[in-house]
């Protein structure tokens, strides 16, 4: 049911291909699809309406000229508008000129507050700060212990007390931090529902007691239409200074980002991308925009690839592919580069169109090791001229790499296919077709 916007737009926009001005008529179908895509991505209905109206206004009357087709133009307008709304640049954490900086987090149950606190503390300590974690969730069973255990993993102190009075813990933590020279205090609070007046009063009391420099709303990226109601309630009570979006390592389209931003009007300062404490990243508006639209996060890919492959190398590679000289030696290089860049599935998921294909494929990063082992068991000659790999050589490679002959056969077959496809891709640059990676599909 989650077709990408791109696919849908292609249908809707074919109709006015060749027209020279974007008009109310030729754009209305496209806008309807955009509305739908945004709703499917869980952007709040009211936010969607406003957004679509804005885009309509911007688009109508735009002359279609230059390289862009009307469909590309409207996608560009939509994308640019989204990026603008999401905040044009990455926002930093505000630190108080006079320490300690006090950071307080709040949010619904299970949104990821405690994990985020530990991640943030780790992150700040890496930057040379002396954070103190404060455990104020006196309500959920074992919540304090959870923070203590996480903090212990990264050797950061936790302040807490054996009391049901979260406000007093927060207050005393302040004094404690001054005494022990901690320059950043991170206050974890219990999860709460916005209609729970008593609990909302408690979090307000904590807020009043510590007067935070930053008050961050921790929001699960999978939240639906209710994001707006919830964010508004927290914002009204605590005048939030920023948003944290968690669990973005899932496959949610993350439309909530737009909804929450719309309500709070403050930047998304961090995103959580995993359960481990390293999995904290700054927010990149461009990436989320593409994700919400289902266009694939091509920008991230480009960025990641840029860090690892230099242009020169890329050119050589392209040349080789065109001449059909791409060998296992090159492939091994490629694999190593990809490994450096991060999880394969993450990476491939960033390519438009791949996302859907990948859903049915289990890409195991362990497969890397297997493929790598097979290539390493080949002689240099075999790597450069896969054609010479006959039956007995296959057996030897299988034995050497701890795989089966079938594995080797599959790798060779797929490698051959990949060579062909790569050739096609380089010859037809506009094609969105992507080769299957040998050894990674069933």
Partner 1 sequence: MGFFSKLKEKFTQQVDKVTEIVSEKVNSVVEKAAETLKIDRLKDGLAKTRKSFVDKFKMVLGAGRKIDEKLLDEIEEILITADIGVNTTEEIIEKVRKRVKKEGYEDAEDVYKLLKEEIHEILLKSPSANNDAIYHIDESDKPKVIMVIGVNGVGKTTTIGKLAYNYKKAGKEVLIGAADTFRAAANEQLEIWAERAGVGIIQQLQGADPAAVAFDTLKSAIANKKDVVIIDTAGRLHNKANLMAELEKISRVMKKLKPTAPDEVFLVLDATTGQNAINQAKEFMKSAPISGIVLTKLDGTAKGGVVIPIANELKIPVRYIGVGEKIDDLQLFDPSYFIEALFGLDDEVDEEDEGKME
Q: Is 111 in the site for ligand GTP (CB under 6 A)?
A: yes
Q: Is 115 in the site for ligand GTP (CB under 6 A)?
A: yes
Q: Is 363 in the site for partner 1 (CB under 8 A)?
A: yes
Q: Which does 273 bind (CB under 5 to 8 A by kind): partner 1, Mg ion, ligand GTP, none?
A: ligand GTP
Cis amide leading into 100 (omega within 30):
yes
Pairing of strands 214-220, 101-106: parallel
Q: Is 229 in the site for ligand GTP (CB under 6 A)?
A: no
Segment (H or E) for 24: helix 24-40
> In terms of Cα–Cα distance, which of 2, 18, 216, 263 is closest to 117?
216
- CB distance 13 to 71 below 8 Å: yes
Q: CA-CA distance, 193 to 164, in Å (whole number)?
A: 19
Instruction: Kindly tell me which of 272 and 294 has the beta carbon lying closer to ligand GTP.
Output: 272
Q: Which does 64 bind (CB under 5 to 8 A by kind): Mg ion, partner 1, ligand GTP, none?
A: none
Partners of residue 131 on adjacent β-strands: 184
Q: CA-CA distance, 358 to 66, in Å (whole number)?
A: 35
Among 183, 202, 220, 297, indicate the residue that binds partner 1 (CB under 8 A). Answer: 220
Among 99, 224, 274, 353, indicate the residue that binds ligand GTP (CB under 6 A). Answer: 274
Q: Which does 342 bind (CB under 5 to 8 A by kind): Mg ion, partner 1, ligand GTP, none?
A: none
Among 92, 208, 236, 275, indicate the residue that binds ligand GTP (CB under 6 A). Answer: 275
Rounded to 5 degrees, what are φ and ψ at 382?
-65, -40
Partners of residue 104 on adjacent β-strands: 187, 215
Among 21, 61, 88, 110, indicate the residue that binds ligand GTP (CB under 6 A). Answer: 110
Binding string, residues 228-257; x marks residues near Mg ion by CB under 5 A = ------------------------------
Segment (H or E) for 131: strand 131-135
Give CA torsion, residues 228, 230, 231, 233, to 10 deg.
Answer: 120
3-state secondary structure of 21: strand
Q: Is 194 in the site for partner 1 (CB under 8 A)?
A: yes
From the list 271-279, 288-296, 347-355, 365-373, the region that binds ligand GTP by CB under 6 A is 271-279
- CB distance 415 to 328 below 8 Å: yes
Residues in the chain: 442
Tokens 């996060």 belong to 297
Q: Which of residues 109-168 bind partner 1 (CB under 8 A)?
A: 109-112, 139-143, 145-150, 153
Q: CA-CA distance, 53 to 252, in Å (whole number)?
A: 25
Q: Is 188 in the site for partner 1 (CB under 8 A)?
A: no
Instruction: Kindly tell me which of 144 and 344 has the beta carbon lying closer to ligand GTP.
Output: 144
Helices (H), 142-196: 143-153, 166-179
In 10 A of CB 217, how many CB atoms?
A: 26
Rg (CA), the chain: 26
Give CA torsion, residues 203, 209, 210, 211, to 10 deg.
Answer: 90
Q: Which of residues 43-82 bind Mg ion (CB under 5 A)?
A: none
Q: Which does 419 bind (CB under 5 to 8 A by kind): ligand GTP, partner 1, Mg ion, none?
A: none
Among 70, 87, 112, 294, indicate the residue that binds ligand GTP (CB under 6 A). Answer: 112
Q: Which of residues 140-159 bind Mg ion (CB under 5 A)?
A: 143
Q: Is 52 in the site for partner 1 (CB under 8 A)?
A: no
The residue ranges that bind Mg ion (CB under 5 A) are 113-114, 143
Binding site for ligand GTP (CB under 6 A): 107, 109-115, 137, 140, 143, 190-191, 246-247, 249, 272-275, 279
Binding site for partner 1 (CB under 8 A): 1-2, 36, 39-42, 44-45, 108-112, 139-143, 145-150, 153, 193-195, 220, 222-227, 229-230, 233, 247, 249-253, 255-256, 275, 345, 359, 362-364
């Amino acid at each position: 049911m989650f077709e990408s916007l791109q696919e849908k737009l292609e249908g809707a926009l074919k109709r006015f291909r060749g027209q020279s001005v974007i008009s109310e008529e030729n754009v209305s179908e496209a806008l309807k699809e955009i509305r739908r895509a945004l709703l499917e991505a869980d952007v709040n209905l009211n936010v969607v309406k406003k957004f679509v109206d804005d885009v309509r206004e911007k688009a109508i009357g735009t002359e279609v000229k230059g390289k862009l087709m009307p469909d590309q133009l409207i996608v560009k307008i939509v994308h640019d508008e989204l990026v603008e709304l999401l905040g044009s640049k990455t926002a930093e954490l505000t630190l108080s000129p006079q320490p300690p900086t006090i950071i307080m987090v709040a949010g619904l149950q299970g949104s990821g507050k405690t994990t985020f606190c530990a991640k943030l503390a780790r992150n700040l300590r890496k930057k040379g700060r002396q954070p103190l974690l404060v455990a104020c969730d006196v309500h959920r069973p074992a919540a304090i212990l959870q923070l203590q255990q996480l903090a212990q993993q990264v050797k950061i102190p936790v302040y807490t007390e054996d009391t049901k009075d979260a406000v007093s813990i927060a207050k005393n933590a302040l004094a404690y931090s001054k005494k022990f020279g901690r320059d950043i205090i991170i206050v974890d609070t219990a999860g709460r529902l916005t209609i729970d007046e008593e609990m909302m009063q408690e979090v307000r009391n904590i807020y009043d007691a510590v007067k935070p420099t930053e008050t961050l709303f921790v929001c699960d990226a999978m939240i639906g239409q209710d994001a707006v109601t919830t964010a508004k309630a927290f914002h009204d009570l605590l005048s939030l200074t920023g948003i944290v979006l968690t669990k973005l390592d899932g496959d949610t389209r993350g439309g909530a980002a737009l909804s929450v931003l719309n309500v709070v009007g403050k930047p998304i300062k961090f995103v959580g991308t995993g359960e481990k404490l390293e999995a904290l990243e700054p927010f990149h508006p461009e990436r989320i925009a593409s994700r919400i639209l289902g266009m694939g996060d091509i920008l991230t890919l480009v960025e990641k690839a840029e860090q690892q492959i230099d242009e020169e190398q890329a050119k050589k590679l392209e040349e080789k592919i065109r001449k059909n000289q791409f060998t296992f030696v090159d492939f091994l290089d490629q694999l190593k580069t990809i490994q450096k860049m991060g999880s394969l599935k993450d990476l491939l998921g960033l390519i438009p169109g791949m996302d859907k294909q990948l859903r049915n494929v289990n890409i195991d990063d362990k497969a890397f090791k297997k493929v790598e082992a097979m290539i390493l068991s080949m002689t240099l000659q075999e790597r450069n001229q896969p054609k010479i790999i006959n039956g007995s050589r296959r057996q030897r490679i299988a034995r050497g790499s701890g795989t089966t002959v079938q594995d080797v056969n599959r790798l060779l077959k797929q490698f051959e296919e990949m060579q062909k496809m790569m050739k096609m891709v380089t010859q037809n640059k506009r094609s969105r077709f992507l080769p299957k990676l040998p050894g990674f599909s069933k």
